[in-house]
Structure 1
Amino acid sequence: MLGGYAEIVVPIFLCLFILLWHWRSWNKHSPIINWPLFGMLPGLLQNAQHIHDYTTRVLKHYGGTWEFMGPCFSNMEFVLISDPTNMHHILSRNFSNYHKGPKFREVFEPLGDGIFASDSDSWRFQRKLIQSMIKNKKFDLFLEKVSRGKVESGLIPILDHFSSMGIEVDLQDVFQRYTFDNVCFLVLGFDPNCLSSEFAQVAHAKAFDQIEQSLLYRHIVPESCWKLQRWLQIGEEKKLSIAWKIFDQFVYQCISSKREQLSRSKTQKMKVEEETFDLLTACIEQDEGGEMDCSTKSNKFLRDMAFSLIAAGRDTISSGLTWFLWLVATHPSVEAKILQEMREHLLVNNEREMNWDIKEISKLVYLHAAICESLRLFPPVPFEHLYAIDSDILPSGHPIGPSTRILYSPYAMGRTESIWGEDCLEFKPERWISEEGRIVHVPSYKFIAFNAGPRTCLGKDMSFIQMKTVASTIIWNYRLQVVEAHPVLPKISVVLHMRHGFKVRVTKRDH
């Protein structure tokens, strides 16, 4: 009897072994294997801890466009792209065919119907609304006041404290606190005061971090798994629900307070001060002007808009600052050139007093080039999502079917030799400066840190203002010494943070 089973089972296992051996042989030149049943998921999981560099290598192997095949019946298939020609086609030339789509909205559920999750008419309306608000002269004045004020009242005292104590500090944590205070003030008109010497835990700031962590979890486990957890309210999904509720309470309270404040000002016939003209105020005033319908006058619309703007302005800028100052701290020649440029353009009457006017700082060409170079190598958002509406054929010849998910990688694009040359892995600000001493224009579909096409980031100029304000202040006033043997690696997250923080010792610079 056993011999009969063996006669059946042994040939089956032998056939499977031969099949897998041949499958491995067929894929031996590929950096990732498409296994029977399991697809390419095993290779992706095996390299999850260095996913950004791994996908960069895979994309290089496949010429910048890679079709990922998930396990059978998992619905995990997508196309990953770093080819600038394909990017130009998707983000500009055939823009109408590529939306955020229902899967994006499902995964990034806390964004609600905000601009980053919306498409078509809703997206166009919100983009036009936000554009009109940030171009308001009152908001320009407010941005300048907040950007400089938070540096002077929050950032400098904190760094002076750590300098005098001679102890190390996690600058990534400092920047996250700084940008959370900043963006809440700019968007909601409320300063949470996370950046204080006590480094206290602020409930809604902590909740925001948890939301980001839970959204990453939704990316790395099967959809059925996190949806089951959401239904049962267990594990990471329970943490998300709690954090989401805490942050929403904070935002809705700010909206309610702002409506009451503006109503009181209107009753008393008082004008809103230009120095406190936040985006929430601007949006509510648009509402009162009769330009918005019932749905866009609601607190839910204001909440979704505020959430998207906070998400855009908090972690992206803190990530950008963290990687930039690490690169400057580890490249003394770049630091010396930035300091020299500041001496030439910002010193008042050749004395030690500096002109910290934003317009003057914005004229620093080498500083701007160094920030661009940092964003090229370490874009705050390493992957972006899109969804094909109809069939298409990319310039590379790859067919795209309806409902195909598209991921594109700004991280991989910044490390592509065909775009940036053989020295693409070097931190080299000079590549951004022309012979005439001006910033070289690079098409947005090649330098894609701020997206490209109709979805180009509306806050690009604001981001540069804030990064230059912080970076110039720190570089002029302090020396940063990276703690010896401190590991610097990208964190596996929705935003490109440092996995172990950015530990430094701060000392006052003696000019």
Structure 2
Amino acid sequence: MASISLVQASIAIVSLILCFFYHFKKPHKGFLRNWPVLGMLPSLLMEFHRIYDFSVEILENSNLTFAFKGPWYSGMDMVFTADDKNIRHIMNSSNSSNYTKGPDFKEVFDVLGDGILTADSELWKSLRKVSKAMVDHQGFQKLSMSTTRKKLKDGLVPLFDHIVEKEKVVDLQDVFRRFTFDTTLMTVTGCDDPRSLSIEMLEVDEFAKALNDIGEGIMYRHVKPKFLWKLQRWVGFGQEKKLYEAHATLNRTCKKFILDKREEVRSKECSSKEGEDLLTSHMKLDSTMYLKYHNDEKFLRDTMLAFILAGRDTTASGLTWFFWCLSKNPHVVTNIRQEIDSNGADDPERSSYDSMEFLNKLVYLRGALYEAMRLHPPVPFERLSPIKPDVLPSGHRVDPSIKILIFIYALGRMKAVWGEDALDFNPKRWVSETRGFKEVSSSKFFTFNAGPRACLGKEVAMTLMKTVVVEILQNYDIEVVQGQKIEPAPGPILRMKHGLRIKLTKRCSSSSK
């Protein structure tokens, strides 16, 4: 039960009053007013609906790093940064042990339990060691690839052909979220195709809806004093009520997956020529070598949920924003198609146009995907806290009471980091003079994190996205419906607030693969 002091209750009441009358005191562009007692929180709430674009403005006006002052005694003092020097300092191997997610992070993300997304210290190291071995295993990569191809053949292509035939308008973001939900669930749990993506486009099931609700609820916890959202949770109100219900749904659904999988493992019916799903792999772990609780129901639930969230939402976000960028840059579409054709995708003697050998040759396509994720990173911010006091290269002092928010969205748009053309969509910035791929520092391109916490599924995700993009661009032309408002919604995943409505036409046989 939450413990609420008189001072905290008073701050909450005054905050609500100020929020109610916020339109009388709109903050200036790129500026947050520091109110007595309440700090900068009221001003931040006024801009919360456009938090990511506002982060660009405020960090541009603050030399890439900004000290946010929260209400007194609320524990909400933060440092916002998009300075690649600060990021390099924080994520450096010799420094990274001082910067953890911390206990406050675990409270905010409590519905995720103790999986790799929330763990710290020794537990995190153990989880990462095991997860890396599984994700890097050829069996899992084979399963991921075969699942993606099968879902393309049985799900996305029939749906797109149906849309073309009926001349329908479809929300491409919804399509990709359904696609990645199905493929991720199959590769993580080994279940049959959930068929959330099909011609019928059935109503999203309760598990997928619960995943959506927890993302929204967690984001709001970042801009509310802890005592306030804990009070809402205690009384069962607003976002906290939805979060509680979503948590219960996730627990119930994950429990069923675990019970079914245990029965399969006992009966030895879960082996597959296409590779082994992650849930099966975790159940078969040697506990003396890896994790003591590897077969514990809560551990399996937390691990499974972490992989599902990471696999579904980030990839769907990346693909959605990628096709939006292509719609604004048709010459890039032409270049990608030329690269695909020049590497033999239209050769009838090829056994598979989306083989790893073929996909690895698509340097310009990889650059276009990176460019879309630079401007629209699937995970738009990273939150960390120092264990011991430190001074960042920007000169800002931080201690355990301060949260550090790395605004990845703003980082990719900073002219001080990327040059005067930072806002331009230019895949060629990733292609070297010898037509190889040009890597940049991970502290500059932070989409896949950096240092010891670099994304484990980076190459799996890139392979999936390239496979999907090749299939679509070789067979369809996409036209974005004019007049719709495209803007990011506040949340831990950068999704489009209103979706992305498109029309499709089939490419003529002479220009398709």
Q: Tell me the TM-score normalised to structure 2 length.
A: 0.90
Change (3 A) 1:451 1:389: same
Report if the CA contact (8 A) 1:417-1:424 is conserved: yes
In the alignment, is the contact (CA less than 8 A) between 2:33 and 2:43 conserved in 1? yes
Quick one: structure 1 residues 492 and 30, their matched pair in 2 at CA, closer, same or farther if it must change by over 3 Å? closer
Give the Cα–Cα distance (whole angstroms) in 2 for the partners of residues 389 and 505 of structure 1. Answer: 51
Shift of 1:37: 2.5
Task: Specify which of 462, 465, 487 is matched with residue 463 of structure 2.
Answer: 465
Measure, in 2, the Cα distance between the counterparts of 1:411 and 1:344. 34
Match of 2:195?
193
Counterpart of 1:160 in structure 2 is: 161
Give the deviation of 1:352 after TM superposition: 11
Distance 2:364 2:190 in 1: 33
Structure 1 segment 107-506 matched on structure 2, within 5 A: 107-190=108-191, 191-201=193-203, 202-265=205-268, 272-287=271-286, 290-349=288-347, 355-506=353-504
> 1:232 offset after TM fit, Å?
1.8
**Contact 1:178/1:195 (8 A) holds in 2:** yes
What one-letter code is carried by the residue in structure 2 that aligns with 1:81?
A: T
1:354 is displaced (CA, Å) by 6.8
| Aligned-partner Cα distance in 1 for 2:315–2:220 | 22
Which one-letter code corresponds to 1:77 in the other structure? D
Match of 1:229, as an amino acid?
Q
Deviation at 1:446, TM superposition (A): 0.5
Does the CA-based 8 Å contact 1:346-1:361 persist in structure 2? no
**Is the 1:347–1:353 Cα contact (8 Å) retained in structure 2?**
no
- Conserved in 1, the CA contact under 8 Å of 2:77 and 2:401? no
Q: Cα–Cα, structure 1 residues 374 and 271, in superposed 2: closer, same or farther, change >3 Å?
A: closer
Q: What is the letter of the counterpart of residue 250 of structure 2? A: F
Q: In structure 1, what is the Cα distance between the partners aligned to 2:506 and 2:270? A: 43
Unaligned runs of 5+ residues in structure 2 are 1-24
CA–CA distance in 2 between the matches of 1:220 and 1:396? 24
**Secondary structure of the structure 1 residue equivalent to 2:400:** coil
Residue by residue over 1:454-486, the C-alpha shift from the partner in whole angstroms, topping out at 9 and shown as x without a partner, is 000000001101111111111111111110111
Instruction: Name the counterpart of 2:31.
Output: 31
Distance 1:493 1:326, change over 3 A: same
Relative to structure 1, is the Cα distance of residues 344 and 109 closer, same or farther in structure 2, using a 3 angstrom cutoff? Answer: same
Q: CA deviation at 1:192?
A: 2.0
Alpha-carbon displacement from aligned partner over 1:165-191 (angstroms, at most 9, x marks no partner):
101100000000001111111111123
* Equivalent AA in structure 2 for residue 249 of structure 1: R
Distance between the aligned counterparts of 2:44 and 2:29, measured in 1? 16
Q: Is the 8 A contact 1:52 1:411 kept in 2?
A: yes
Report the equivalent of 1:60. Answer: 60
* In 1: Cα distance, 2:225 partner to 2:288 partner: 45
Measure, in 1, the Cα distance between the counterparts of 2:303 and 2:414. 35
AA aligned opposite 1:47: E
Query: Could you say what secondary structure the match of 2:222 adopts?
Result: helix
Distance between the aligned counterparts of 2:29 and 2:181, measured in 1? 46
- CA-CA distance at 1:65 after TM superposition: 1.2
Larger Rg: 1
Look up the equivalent residue of 2:277 and give its one-letter code.
D
1:422–1:85 Cα change, 3 Å: same
Paired AA for residue 462 in structure 1: V
Q: Does the Cα contact within 8 Å between 2:75 and 2:402 map onto a contact in 1?
A: no
**Given that residues 337 and 473 in structure 2 are in contact (C-alpha distance below 8 angstroms), is that contact kept between their aligned partners in structure 1?**
yes
- 1:98 partner letter: Y
Match of 1:15 in 2: none
Deviates more, 1:321-330 or 1:399-408: 399-408
How many Å apart are 1:346 and its aligned residue?
3.1
Deviation per CA, 1:201-257: give whole Å up to 9, x if none: 212111111121221222233322211121122332222122111122111111111
Q: Which moved more, 1:341-350 or 1:431-440?
A: 341-350
2:74 is equivalent to residue 71 of structure 1: no
**Contact map agreement 1:362 1:468 (CA 8 A) in 2:** no
Is the CA contact (8 Å cut-off) linking 1:141 and 1:274 kept in structure 2? no
Instruction: Give, as a single letter, the amino acid of the residue that structure 2 aligns with 1:87.
Output: I
SS of the equivalent of 2:293 reads helix
Contact 2:188 2:278 in 1 (8 A): yes
Residue 89 of structure 2 is matched in structure 1 by: 89
Per-residue deviation, 1:293: 4.8
Which ranges in structure 1 are unaligned for 5 or more consecutive residues?
A: 1-23
Q: RMSD of aligned C-alpha atoms?
A: 1.9
Deviations 1:437-466 (A, max 9, x none): 011110101000000110000000011011
Q: Which amino acid aligns with 1:76?
A: M
1:85 and 1:395 in contact (8 A); partners too:
yes
Residues 402-438 of structure 1: per-residue CA shift (max 9 Å, x gap): 3321110111110011221101001000111110001
* Partners of 1:301 and 1:132 in 2: CA distance: 18
Q: Secondary structure at the residue paired with 2:170?
A: strand
Amino acid at match of 1:151: L
Following the alignment from structure 1 to structure 2, what is the Cα–Cα distance between the partners of residues 141 and 175? 21
Q: Once the 2 structures are TM-superposed, how far is the Cα of residue 290 of structure 1 from its aligned partner?
A: 4.2
CA contact (8 A) 1:348 1:354 kept: no
What fraction of aligned residue pairs are identical, expressed as a percent? 41
Q: 1:189 to 1:34 in 2, by over 3 A?
A: same
Question: Equivalent residue of 1:346, what SS?
Answer: coil
Alignment-derived partner of residue 13 in structure 1 = none
Offset at residue 120 of structure 1 (A) = 0.6
Worse overlay, 213-222 or 132-141 = 213-222
**Shift, 1:271, TM fit:** 7.8
Letter paired with 1:254: F
Deviation at 1:48? 1.8
Structure 2 contact 75–401 (Cα < 8 Å) conserved: no
Q: Deviations over 1:24-72 (max 9, x none)?
A: 9xx9997222232232223212222221111111111111111101122
Separation (CA, whole Å) in 2 of partners of 1:454 and 1:293: 19
Q: How many residues align?
A: 481
- The alpha carbon displacement at 1:351 in A equals 8.6
Residue 129 of structure 1 deviates from its aligned partner by 0.3
* 1:480/1:506 contact within 8 Å kept: yes
CA contact (8 A) 2:141 2:460 kept: no
Q: Which moved more, 1:51-60 or 1:27-36?
A: 27-36
